[in-house]
Amino acid sequence: MGLPLSNSLTQPPIHHYHGYLDSFLLALGFGITSYFIFKKSETHSPLYLAILLVAVPCALSLSVARHFSCFVYSLSFTFFVYLFTLVACICLYRLSPWHPLATYPGPLLCKLSKLWLGYVSQQGRLHIYVWRLHQKYGDIVRIGPNELSIRSAGSILPLLGPRELPKGPWFDGRYPEDAPARSLISLRNSHEHSMRRRPWNQAFSVSALKDYEPLIDARTSKLVDALSRQESPVNLTQWIFYFAYDMMSDFIFGGGTEMLRDGDVGGLWPMLESAQKTGLLFSHVPWLGQLLFKTPLLAGSRRKMIACSMQFARSRKARRPTHKDLFYYLYNEGGTIENAPTEAEAFADSISAGADTSASAIVNLFYLLLTNPATYSRLRAEIDGREDRALEFSEQARMPYLNAVINETLRILPPVPSGSPRATTAETGGRMLGTRYIPPNTAVNIHIFSVHRDPRNFSFPDNFVPERWLSEEERKHLGPKFFKDGSFVHNIAAFHPFSVGPSSCVGKNFAYLEMRMLVTKVLFNFDLRLAEGFDSRKYKHGIKDFFTMALEALPVVFTRRKTYL
């Protein structure tokens, strides 16, 4: 007859259960406590993250190790309970009715974590994703645990105008904690931003812009010469980016690159595009950026880009160019600026003063022009009607259809389609937007692409119709099918491709000079058509939003019209 098995062989001793329960409750309690400690402000510091996610559960594991037969079991058990509790508390609070943004609609994944929007951003379709969210949810959409996207044109001035909100945490993940300086565009302190912007305001004053006209004229002539030597079809995207980089090199450093002559021998454009894509992810998930900046791969890539900019900057500092450039003002060579930027700040600003915004606008302009033959013909007629005077900057400023084409391009495909978020803070307090209250410590963003595509602001918003920017008489004459009735809507206050207010794009007027001259000079010298087999839908779908735009190839056939003057 068999003997009954002992209880001690089939069940752990009762004190083991008590030990496991004590360990569970301890990890649970510390998980909840840690949540309340760190809930007040989202930290991006690797040190704090290490304490929160590693040091605390490790210390707990050591304190309860006696209850487990193996330290690995203790470590695994404690980490799981602690981190699960911490994450569960975060998720429950963000979805709860007690969250400050609980009343604002938005996708569940967006409310839970910015990791989702970070993932979406890497596909390059963030502008389309958020635009569709506004179509579904309305003017204010919760796109992050503490972030709102806004489509209302009436919110532009309250958020970006004279009493603008400071920059949000969006740029915090783009710079390592130990970075010697941050660029002007990323500064969150409004007073510091105002001080650092002073040399930029001088660099883009009316008199300074007049000094840059010969630079723009010379560089656009080099582009025309380069295009005339290429075999058609030409990848216009590539050549416009070459031009833009050389133009910015002329403007910032007084020269230094000749991509129009040599091509991109250093691989700068792929490096910049990769940096923009990675930087966009870090903008949405700043703590991830701070962690990865500690890794050799990312740190090395960043050092390479900084070294390239510093090489140009130091070369510029060692010589005196024949014209005033941006560094003339950043280095205070005229001696007119108090509290001029430090060398580290000048370097940081030179890295951010990239050429990709103007380049993408120009390429998209030619894409829209060549896919709309009537618009192409009208612009060509305006340029030809002025003969050689069309190549004068002053004349181009007075050409209504040229400026209408540029503005319509910037409306329908803004170079920075998703905008640059701001934030309410404890210092600014909350803000009322109509009947809705935006609480403190909330990131808010006017979504440029959505505002520009809103039919309440612009009639037939998805159509490329430059005539909307002309006088009423010219509109009805040139576009009768669009303007034949009285329902035309054109809200100029909603148009803000360069943002508005004290933190708007300081180089806006330079960009207009550059675009006018380039477009005029190319159309003055060439007949253009898209290459056979060009897929317009593929190009349009291939426009990527990585803060600035990344574009597909635009194959164009160039035929010389007349001798260049």
Q: Model confidence over 328-364: pLDDT tens digits?
A: 888 777 777 777 777 777 767 766 665 568 899 999 9
What is the dihedral sign for C-alpha 301, 303, 304, 309?
positive
pLDDT in tens, the chain (565 residues): 444 444 444 444 444 555 567 677 787 888 888 888 777 666 677 777 778 888 888 887 777 766 666 767 777 888 888 889 999 999 999 999 999 999 999 999 999 999 999 999 999 999 999 999 999 999 999 999 999 999 999 999 999 998 899 998 888 888 877 777 788 888 888 888 888 888 899 999 999 999 999 999 999 999 999 999 999 899 999 999 999 999 988 888 888 789 999 998 878 888 888 888 888 999 999 888 888 877 776 666 666 666 677 777 777 777 777 778 888 888 777 777 777 777 777 767 766 665 568 899 999 999 999 999 999 999 999 999 999 999 999 999 999 999 999 999 999 999 999 998 999 998 999 999 988 999 999 999 999 999 999 999 999 999 999 999 998 878 777 666 677 666 789 999 999 999 999 989 999 999 999 999 999 999 999 999 999 999 999 999 999 999 989 999 999 999 998 654 4
Cβ contacts of 388 within 8 Å, gap of 6 or more: 565
Q: What is the dotted CATH code of the domain comprising 184-497+507-554?
A: 1.10.630.10
Residue 548 identity: T
Q: What phi and psi values does residue 456 have, to the nearest 5 degrees?
A: -70, -20
**Measured between alpha carbons, how far is 117 from 170 in angstroms, rounded to an integer?**
12
pLDDT tens by residue, 16-51 = 555 567 677 787 888 888 888 777 666 677 777 778
Cβ contacts of 17 within 8 Å, gap of 6 or more: none
Residues paired with 546 in a beta bridge? 548
Contacts of the segment 532-540: beta carbons below 8 A, 24+ positions apart: 536/367, 536/371, 539/367
160 and 503 in contact (C-beta within 8 Å)? Answer: yes
How many other CB atoms are there within 10 angstroms of residue 205's CB atom?
13
58 is in an annotated binding site: no
Judged by DSSP in three states, 280 sits in helix
Q: Which helix (H) or strand (E) holds 144?
A: strand 140-144
Judged by DSSP in three states, 64 sits in coil
Q: Full-prediction pTM beyond 0.85?
A: yes
What is each CA distance from 455 to 48, 151, 209, in whole angstroms? 46, 11, 35
Distance of CA 237 to the CA centre of its chain: 20
What is each CA distance from 364 to 237, 375, 536, 544, 559, in whole angstroms? 9, 14, 12, 12, 20
Q: DSSP character for 55?
A: I
Computed on alpha carbons and rounded to an integer, the radius of gyration of the chain in Å comes to: 28
**Measured between alpha carbons, how far is 364 from 413 in angstroms, rounded to an integer?**
7
For residues 496-518, one letter each, b for 16 or more C-beta atoms within 10 angstroms of the residue's C-beta and e for the rest, the string is bbbbbbebebbbebbbbbbbbbb
